[in-house]
Amino acid sequence: MKSKRYDQEFKDNAVSMLVTSRKALSVVARELGISDTALRKWRESSLEQDNRHPMGDGMPTPREMVDIIKQLQKELAHVTWQRDVLKKAAGILSEKSQTGMP
């Protein structure tokens, strides 16, 4: 089977669509008629090539921003779990006692 060749403009547009659409990689790949693997490779290549931030020096690179986002997502999941536990505990502590104790 002969593999398709895509020009750099198509690859750049596909990566841009992936980043800006907030859709899953598999969804964007399906919409574009390409494989998940190809789009993933193009995204990784784009992040490696772009080693500076468009807003200037002192700002994180796209690769660093991806790492920061992943870390923040982990922290958010943990804090959300803590919040849920505290809500349940507060609910339990605020219930009136069935035994007549305050």
Which is nearest to 14 in space by CA: 35, 65, 49, 64?
35
- Predicted local confidence at residue 102, as pLDDT: 56
Query: Is 81 part of a structural domain of the chain?
Result: yes
Mean pLDDT of 2-24: 85
Question: Do residues 88 and 45 share a domain?
Answer: no
Distance CA 96, CA 3 (A): 69
Q: Which residue has the higher pLDDT, 22 or 67?
A: 67
Model confidence, pTM: 0.50
Distance CA 37, CA 10 (A): 15
Total number of domains in the chain: 2
- Predicted local confidence at residue 83, as pLDDT: 97
Determine the structural domain holding residue 7 and report its residue range. 1-49
Question: Do residues 41 and 60 share a domain?
Answer: no
Question: Do residues 43 and 80 share a domain?
Answer: no
Query: Is 80 part of a structural domain of the chain?
Result: yes
- Predicted local confidence at residue 5, as pLDDT: 87
Mean pLDDT of 60-71: 83
- Predicted local confidence at residue 52, as pLDDT: 57
